[in-house]
Chains A and B, each alone.
Chain A
Amino acid sequence: MTHSAGDQTRGDSSAFFTGDHSAQMSQNEVFALCMKAARGAGMSWGMADEAGFAASWLTARGLDGPRHLLAQLTAMQGRAWGDLCPTIAPGKWSAATGKTICPVVLGATLSDHAILPGGLASGAILTGPVDFPILLCPFLSGIAAATGQIAVLEWTDGHVEIDANGATPVAAVSALEGQTGVKLRVSLRPGTGPAHSPLPAPAIGAQTVAALNAFALRTTVPASDASRAGAGAASNDNE
């Protein structure tokens, strides 16, 4: 079936954008749309929550989180879980042979392992290649907050420092925009970053929203007479 973007008869609370229109979205909207899209793209519910978190974290810092997540979800289509994960060894978290690591899976796994042997708190980690590593930044911020340190993300021609609040300088993360298949060095160093003033949320494009909605729609069930019958008021609402 087809959906027109302006169909008000849908009980959806996600944004309806049409044509080339773009608009600011709230954190709540970004999280909800991206979480559903990630689930529709094949992530487990719990991992989809991480994807929603990552996209909304970026958006709150002036970056187009939904667009970056969409790039990742598109890239990971048809790939098995094992091909998205890092293989963990002390100091080196490798991609499967010939594969690239999903930044959401890597970020969540780095966060889970942060204070365990082989995790960031026990030393620098070489990893990669990593798809769309800009999506790793939200997780590094969480690790920085949990360990009271600054996370350092380095690649061939750049680096960014991330603390509990975000990156320093704020614009440094944008150097990662559009980059993919990147080999990285991730480490922690003592210290705390300066306070950041918030950046205005970016406008999110209609095409990004439509593509994420298409992934999200994969989590939904086609209508049947039984489901329609049980949906709500059957009586007259004019009483």
Chain B
Amino acid sequence: MAHSEKVLGKINAMEQRCDERRTLWQAVTESFVKEGADGITMELAKEMGAIQDRFDTALGKLDAML
């Protein structure tokens, strides 16, 4: 898809975290192809949710220490 290539070109030109962002973009485009915009939303929310779960778990332990 042309739009994907164009965005990828811009990501490749980035100075920071080029590889990570490329991987992320690939995940976004794959979700879009499979399930459209809702798929992207769900995928990103899932990824952020996993981080948030780890954050909340650590915070729960810290709360217990407090």
Partners in one complex: no
